[in-house]
Structure 1
Amino acid sequence: MTFQIQAVTIYGKQPDQMRTVPFDTGTLNIVTGDSRRGKSALLTIIDYCLASSGYPVKAGKVRDYVSTYAVTLVKPNQRLFVARRAPEGKAAVSTVLCIISQAPGTPPPPLEDLNFVTPLDAAKDMLSDFCGIDRTVRVPAVGRAQTIAPSIRHALFFCLQAQNEVANPDLLFHSQGEEWRPNTIRGVIPYFLGAVDPEQALLRNRLRLLRRDLADLEAALATTRNLDPAAGQARALLTEAVEAHLVPPLTGPESSAADVLGFLRQALNHTGPQPDQDSNDDPLGVLNTRRNELRRLHGQTRVKITDLKRALAENNDFTSQATEQRARLVSLGLLRRNPETSDATHCPVCDSSLPSANATVTALTRDLAHLEGDLQVIGSDTPAIQRLISQEEGQLQELRSALARNQEEINEVTAGLRALQQEPDDLRRAAIVQGRISLYLDTAAHQAIAPQVDDRREDLRRQIADLEELLSDDTQGERLASYLSLISQKITGKAAGLSLEHSENPIRLDVNRLTVVADRADGPLALANMGSGENHLGYHVATLLSLHEWFAEHRGPVPRLLILDQPSQVYFPPDHTGEAILRAHDRNKLLNIYQAIHHTLRLLGGQFQVVVMEHADLDHPAFSPYVTQRWRYDNDQALVPPSWIGQATD
């Protein structure tokens, strides 16, 4: 079971300044009043006290005269008082909260009794638990290689509609316009709708971690291979050592890894250049020549593989056709009759009179023999072609490795020559090369004595395969699609009840685009293209009421709370500041919104609470009995009492 809000409390900056705004649970609460009386601050205070990472309370009298904010959360037989200071000094936000578990009916405590010791993260976890959120669940973050632990902050996407959101054609959910929020909303919707199986979620998280471990292990093994002393870097350093006359020119076949290391150690111990060295050697030219030869061989090998694969495909095509023809001939059963001893005038199949029957049998037998001979030849050729393909592919891989080593050598020699060209003195050049060799040998020695990376790739791959098999029957996607279909039916019914444009068509909630869409005969129409603030407001209300009906009916861990800030704004001009007076048509349209809210409240029977902050004050049974606060200039009422403003602040 999750919670509703029983009260919002503010504490002034002077002693004994305390104001509580109560709310009735399980019903509609309307706070009506003029502009700049503190109505919109109620939503931001609730948001702030529910572990917001920022300070959403806007600048004005509330910020100027309030030191601490608090909310009272209630659910059956439980009550939680949550208080949070306003930021002090140059701090952007207060990072500690006061959370007190109270007995039902307990009033908010005075400010001096509050002890702010709960860190923000711990407070968020406590509020998530109080909301009924399973904090062991992890859901994938859309568009990012990480997972999300659903929390109270994510549940509020579906509970709050600020003044700039309640009729916004581009934003359906609270804070959807902030960076990264759309993907976060997409990621957590399946959990709050009940489409996520907690056990499956744990398995998916385990699979994600195993895949990450496998990627990390492969990277570590690749690093180990790159530090192999026989890598191209070592051979390139040996080339530089020859160029710097630290070792004699190499002759004969390519040196082994051990030989390369031996030559490098010899170069490191050398104290002077070798005499009679040919200074006109061009190591970079030799490497480029070698690279051209490797690329030529690489191209030839690829052509060979292509030709062999084409020949293999032709063999397979011929074998398939020939086998089919042979099967047809054999199926006639003609071979059981000996054309030399049989009656030449009778059919070997039906024994009817047929001139030259044995001649036909003889021809068919000869064709069959040719086919069998061809099949035997092709059958003996195919394995040989496959072996040749395998050999050439192995040769191609070796050439690729040789090209990679050659490129490493070119890079190293180029860097070395660039440095050496700046040193005219042969001894200084040799010293630079020896320094590079020393660094490489030290690195190779460290690698040799370092703990070996345990190659657990096969074990990790086996575990990944096992988990993938376990998750192969996971039906989360199907469940989500089914739930969204049912919720969309609710939205369609409410849109029709509000007489919204396009409501004669099926309306669906699109969680990928985070909007509602009318599926018309001429194509889908998203909310942003529907036009009119009345439509935007109506579809917002229809969608959120439908979602909360689903949450309540399926025990979704979302606060049973919806806060709407000034839904009547679509019927007033932007600069309206006086008493809220609506034309008859607009008044009826606004009352339809409240009738839809009452319908959901009756349907859920006390399990749902709606708080609305309004300019309008309608004399109607759907509105006036539910007004809990009237904050207007003519009665001198506001969220912050006028008496606070008249006192000096600290």
Structure 2
Amino acid sequence: MTRWNVLEIALYGVGDRRRIITFMPDTVNIITGASGTGKSAIIDAIDYCLGSSSCGLPFYVREHATAVAVLWGLGDQHMIVGRRIPRAGKGTEQMFVRSGRKLTLPATGDRLEGATNRDTARTMIERAFGIGDIENPALKDVSKKGRATVRDITPYVFLSADVIISRSNLLHDMNRVEKARDIKATMPFFLGATDQESILAERRLRQLQVGLDRLERDAKLKERSKGKTAERSMALLSQAADIGLAEAPTPDATDQALFSQLYAVTQTDALAVTIREGDDLAVLEVERRGLVRELQAMRERRRSLVLAMREMSGYESAVSGQAHKLGLVKHLKLSDGRCPVCESTNEAGRAAADQIRTSLEVVDHEVLAVDRLRPELADEQIRLDASLAEQTRRLREVEAQITAVIRQRDASGAAATLAHQRALVLGRVHQFLEMTTQDVESVPTNIASLQAEIAALRDRVDPEAKQERLRDAEIVIGNYATEMLSELPSEMPVFRSRLLFQATPKVTIIEPIRRAALALSEIGSDQNYLAIHLALAFSLQKHLADVDAPVPGLIVVDQISRPYYPEGGDEKSLGEMAKDTDRSAMRRIVRFLFDETNRQAGLQVILIEHAFINDDEDYVKAVRGRWTLQTNEKLIPPGWPSRT
């Protein structure tokens, strides 16, 4: 036994009752029997003892059993995991975990050892299976899904009734949105494409990137807010200056200087000051008109500059084309006095050579001139754009000051006294300072250190290498599954087809005739779905063993005969199947289970089945229980009393 297998499952009832089901490691184990005997609850029992948040055991089991325990084995290493069974509602938070060598299940549920809470129990199971014991305190308050857990192994070990012939549900629990998300997130870890440290690093990287994006957005908002703050500060100071509470702000005043002036206004005795002589509104209006004229001239200059650059670009293209064409004759001997065409010595030839040489020199000078002027014009445009932005900003400030002064004078008409006017302005200044000072004086976050940590995490995660390893795992699993499909009974379009696997997770069937790529939902036929799910389950387990993944070597299969028998009833024989082809298909599937289990070291199969094949020696030897109407044997023995 090279991988963890289930050795025993025990159910405990009232009055020291105990029901044990024994399984053999590294081989196929079969429980056959009638419907309603509790066979499918074997999956629920194992799942419940893997720390599920809810109890999926059926009502009859809850009514008669008080606890359940599973004995896991890996060589002589054992682990017992037990849990109380609630009569109704969700699962209990208390669990029991005990690890050691050659352990045995206790005789009664009261003797289960290692009581602990569910979270701690899951951590202990993860350590035993080999799921890395890694915690990152920075992640705990953000998300419970910081890493792979024992709850993420169930898609690889359970081939339950809602999966085995499903056309939409690829793996156990994938029909639940939150579980589908977890399966996708942790599959690269289990397939060997990444490790727990990388999973945590990826999680941390995503959180830091979100935080950095938020900080950068906040920084931009603060920059915009600061621009507005300067306008509002100047507007308030202009109002204060108009009624003698302050000096008019200078155009080049810094934010800190503006705030200092505003603080000085709040300390002014409104009754003691006198109105300063002069018309600030007229001064501001003169400045506004000058700024408008300057901006008009600058915009006209920029338009001319853009036009010149556009024309220069067209001229450059033409000159470059000429230079390229004339460059073809540079290999001719233009300086030896001969004709460049016939190489004879005559005046006409010398004149032609001089003309070509002169043309080449002119074009070369023009190309150099364009190359020299282009960066100069580009630099000039940058300078002009900066001046435009600065003058536009100042114009907004002046217009805001003018508006503020006009509003102040309009409000003055409603104010009974000068003191009242000053009180209104002082109130506006106080309110503005209270609302903005905290933002302006806040300590900036060190974005550079955050960016450095993100860069370091990216180097550690190496997403390209992870994707290559994941792609390799997908190819390997797809090849395994394709080979296994050929051993299982199927119909077109699955017959002789190729299975492609993606770790999203998803399968695609490439049918052999038209090479059409078919999604799972397009396949049709329960027999085809059975073959696909079996091939995928066993190919995943094969790859998990290859990469030494921390997943038990266990597949629990709930009824491979579903396509061939009607629902319900007692244990069935092959003779009860309607078609010879169905009987032959059933034998091929059973043979596949035994052969593949023998080929994969450490793999254990628990098959829950209606069928009993009495003429198959391997099948008969693998049966661990026949829960039929004749034997009256069930998961919960009929004589057990109900819980009080």
Query: Fold match, TM over 0.5?
Result: yes
Distance of aligned partners of 1:393 and 1:36 in 2 relative to their CA distance in 1, 3 Å threshold: farther
Contact 1:32 1:617 in 2 (8 A): yes
Contact 1:163 1:565 in 2 (8 A): yes
CA deviations over 1:237-276 (Å, ceiling 9, x no partner)? 7647877997779978647334542554466457879999
- Percent identical residues: 22
> Residue type of the partner of 2:187?
I
**1:382 aligned to 374, 389, 401, which one?**
374
> Residue type of the partner of 1:42?
I
- Distance in 1 separating the partners of 2:612 and 2:392: 79
**Which residue does the alignment assign to 1:37?**
37
**1:482 aligned to 461, 464, 472, which one?**
472
- Distance in 1 separating the partners of 2:504 and 2:398: 49
Contact 2:32 2:627 in 1 (8 A): yes
Distance of aligned partners of 1:563 and 1:310 in 2 relative to their CA distance in 1, 3 Å threshold: farther
Distance of aligned partners of 1:117 and 1:578 in 2 relative to their CA distance in 1, 3 Å threshold: closer
> Residue type of the partner of 1:11?
Y
> Residue type of the partner of 2:375?
P
**2:553 aligned to 530, 555, 560, which one?**
560
Contact 1:9 1:70 in 2 (8 A): yes
1:197, distance to aligned residue in structure 2 (A): 5.9
**Which residue does the alignment assign to 2:191?**
193
> Residue type of the partner of 2:607?
V
Contact 1:297 1:399 in 2 (8 A): no
Distance of aligned partners of 1:511 and 1:392 in 2 relative to their CA distance in 1, 3 Å threshold: farther
Helix, strand or coil at the partner of 2:529: helix
Helix, strand or coil at the partner of 1:50: coil
| 1:582 and 2:577 correspond | yes
Helix, strand or coil at the partner of 2:605: strand
Distance of aligned partners of 1:31 and 1:454 in 2 relative to their CA distance in 1, 3 Å threshold: same
Contact 1:137 1:150 in 2 (8 A): no
- Runs of 5+ unmatched residues, structure 2: 282-288
> Residue type of the partner of 1:538?
A
CA deviations over 1:447-496 (Å, ceiling 9, x no partner)? 5765x335451x55456556656766953322322332222222122222
Distance of aligned partners of 1:400 and 1:74 in 2 relative to their CA distance in 1, 3 Å threshold: farther
- The 5 Å alignment of 1:208-219 reads 208=206, 211=209, 214-215=212-213, 218=216
> Residue type of the partner of 1:546?
S
**Which residue does the alignment assign to 2:18?**
18
| 1:529 and 2:522 correspond | yes
1:67, distance to aligned residue in structure 2 (A): 1.9
**Which residue does the alignment assign to 2:160?**
162
Distance of aligned partners of 1:303 and 1:209 in 2 relative to their CA distance in 1, 3 Å threshold: farther
Tell me which moved more, 494-503 or 170-179: 494-503
Helix, strand or coil at the partner of 2:161: coil
CA deviations over 1:384-405 (Å, ceiling 9, x no partner)? 2211232245357658978999
| 1:453 and 2:452 correspond | no
- Distance in 2 separating the partners of 1:563 and 1:293: 84
- Distance in 2 separating the partners of 1:391 and 1:20: 86
Distance of aligned partners of 1:352 and 1:311 in 2 relative to their CA distance in 1, 3 Å threshold: closer
1:205, distance to aligned residue in structure 2 (A): 5.9
**Which residue does the alignment assign to 1:286?**
none
**Which residue does the alignment assign to 1:132?**
130
**1:628 aligned to 624, 628, 642, which one?**
624
- Distance in 2 separating the partners of 1:594 and 1:181: 31
Contact 1:217 1:455 in 2 (8 A): no
1:233, distance to aligned residue in structure 2 (A): 4.0
**Which residue does the alignment assign to 1:182?**
180
Distance of aligned partners of 1:145 and 1:112 in 2 relative to their CA distance in 1, 3 Å threshold: closer
- Distance in 2 separating the partners of 1:251 and 1:376: 53
Helix, strand or coil at the partner of 1:72: strand
Helix, strand or coil at the partner of 1:642: coil
| 1:509 and 2:501 correspond | yes
1:641, distance to aligned residue in structure 2 (A): 1.7
- Distance in 1 separating the partners of 2:123 and 2:47: 15
**1:609 aligned to 604, 618, 622, which one?**
604
Helix, strand or coil at the partner of 2:552: coil
Contact 2:542 2:600 in 1 (8 A): yes
CA deviations over 1:546-588 (Å, ceiling 9, x no partner)? 11122223322211000112232232334x3345343343333
**Which residue does the alignment assign to 1:61?**
60
Helix, strand or coil at the partner of 1:153: helix
Contact 1:298 1:399 in 2 (8 A): no
Tell me which moved more, 217-226 or 168-177: 217-226
- Distance in 2 separating the partners of 1:527 and 1:129: 36
- Distance in 2 separating the partners of 1:206 and 1:52: 26
- Distance in 1 separating the partners of 2:6 and 2:555: 10
**Which residue does the alignment assign to 1:81?**
80
**Which residue does the alignment assign to 2:364?**
372
Distance of aligned partners of 1:249 and 1:272 in 2 relative to their CA distance in 1, 3 Å threshold: closer
- Distance in 2 separating the partners of 1:194 and 1:188: 10
- Distance in 2 separating the partners of 1:627 and 1:403: 91
**Which residue does the alignment assign to 1:48?**
48
Distance of aligned partners of 1:130 and 1:304 in 2 relative to their CA distance in 1, 3 Å threshold: farther
- The 5 Å alignment of 1:137-148 reads 148=146
> Residue type of the partner of 1:69?
V
> Residue type of the partner of 2:552?
P
1:608, distance to aligned residue in structure 2 (A): 0.5
**1:496 aligned to 463, 470, 486, which one?**
486
Helix, strand or coil at the partner of 1:556: coil
Helix, strand or coil at the partner of 2:490: coil
- Distance in 2 separating the partners of 1:543 and 1:403: 71
> Residue type of the partner of 1:367?
S
Aligned residues, how many? 609
**Which residue does the alignment assign to 1:285?**
none
**2:562 aligned to 569, 574, 599, which one?**
569
Helix, strand or coil at the partner of 1:5: strand
1:194, distance to aligned residue in structure 2 (A): 1.8
| 1:232 and 2:228 correspond | yes
**Which residue does the alignment assign to 1:71?**
70
- Distance in 1 separating the partners of 2:416 and 2:619: 95
- Distance in 2 separating the partners of 1:109 and 1:475: 51
1:206, distance to aligned residue in structure 2 (A): 6.6
1:18, distance to aligned residue in structure 2 (A): 2.0
